[in-house]
């Protein structure tokens, strides 16, 4: 979908798209200033009343950002003229639901694995892997 063409039809949508691009650019620029090990664990939220708001995934990242941010303030101000300070908030990510394997193999496929495993004497590791696969999926 061509968002620029779509935005060209609606002035409000175009303004939103441009604002979104500005925030993504600012987020990328802020992350370039930060240590690489923190970049995946925070995001730039907004500039609110002259304060750059960063959202950290957890307290440890929040503490590190609070320590680093004052030293980076002049560089941050060069990115966005409205920035007079930095505030870090913790916004934990919801836990990921564990993936459930819903793969069901037919009895014929499982028997084929067992049969092939029995014929692979010259490749014992492969034979074991096929046997384990058949045992794992044969339960149920």
CATH of the domain at 72: 3.30.300.180
Per-residue pLDDT, 25: 93
The verdict on 22 and 79 lying in the same domain is yes
Residue of 93, 3, 89 lying closest to 46 (CA atoms): 89
The verdict on 70 and 134 lying in the same domain is no
The verdict on 66 and 125 lying in the same domain is no
Do the domain assignments include residue 98?
Answer: no
pLDDT tens digits, one per residue of 71-105 = 999 999 998 888 999 999 999 888 888 888 777 88
For the chain, give percent helix, strand, coil, nearest 5: 60, 15, 25
pTM over 0.75: no
Please name the residue that has the structure tokens 């067992």. Answer: 114
Do the domain assignments include residue 96?
Answer: no
Provide the sign of the torsion angle of the four alpha carbons 26, 62, 77, 49, taken in this order: positive
3-state secondary structure of 56: strand
């Amino acid at each position: 979908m061509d968002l620029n063409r779509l935005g060209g039809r609606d002035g409000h949508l175009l303004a939103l798209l441009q604002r979104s691009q500005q925030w993504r650019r600012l987020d990328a620029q802020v992350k370039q200033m930060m240590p690489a090990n923190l970049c995946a664990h925070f995001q730039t939220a907004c500039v609110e009343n002259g304060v750059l708001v960063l959202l950290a995934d957890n307290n440890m990242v929040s503490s590190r950002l609070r320590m680093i941010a004052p030293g980076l303030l002049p560089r941050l101000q060069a990115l966005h003229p409205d920035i007079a300070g930095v505030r870090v908030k913790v916004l934990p990510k919801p836990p990921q639901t564990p993936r459930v394997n819903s793969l069901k193999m037919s009895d014929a496929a499982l028997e084929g694995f067992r049969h092939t495993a029995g014929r692979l004497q010259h490749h014992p590791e492969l034979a074991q892997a096929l046997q384990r696969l058949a045992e794992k999926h044969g339960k149920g």
